[in-house]
A = this chain, B = another copy of it.
Amino acid sequence: MLNLKWSDSEKKLARQVYDKALKSELANILAEFKSKAAAASNVSEMWALEDYLIDRRREIDSKYDYRYSQLLFVFARLIREGRIDEDALSGLLPEKRAVIRRALEY
């Protein structure tokens, strides 16, 4: 459990990076969903999209956790997935960037 202090400017930066990644990932899911729905040609492909939506929603809910105790690990995961660039977080203090870098080593 991390308990680092976040300055106002760090909070603002974190919020921007987080929101941008979430918005982008949701836009990707929406596009993929619409494409799958358009391609569905039978009922079982339609019901499969129910599971698709449930899985995506749960994945988003578990991945995007804005608690400050979790945020650096969330960022590490988003960097690993190529959703954000590590440089976007260069405005964070070195101790926070070090936590992200250590998390990326696993």
Interface residues of A (CB under 8 A from B): 26-27, 29-30, 33-34, 37-38, 40, 42-43, 46-47, 49-50, 53-54, 57
User: Which among A29, A30, A42, A57 has the highest number of chain B CB atoms within 10 Å?
Assistant: A30
What distance in Å separates the Cβ of A21 from its nearest Cβ neighbour in chain B?
Answer: 14
B37 close to A33 (CB less than 8 A):
yes
A53 close to B46 (CB less than 8 A):
yes
Residues of B within 8 A of A33 (CB): 37, 40, 46, 49
B47 close to A40 (CB less than 8 A):
no
Q: How far is the CA of A49 from the CA of B38 in the complex (A)?
A: 14
Residues of B within 8 A of A37 (CB): 33-34, 37-38, 49
What distance in Å separates the Cβ of A64 from its nearest Cβ neighbour in chain B?
Answer: 13
Q: How far is the CA of A49 from the CA of B37 in the complex (A)?
A: 11
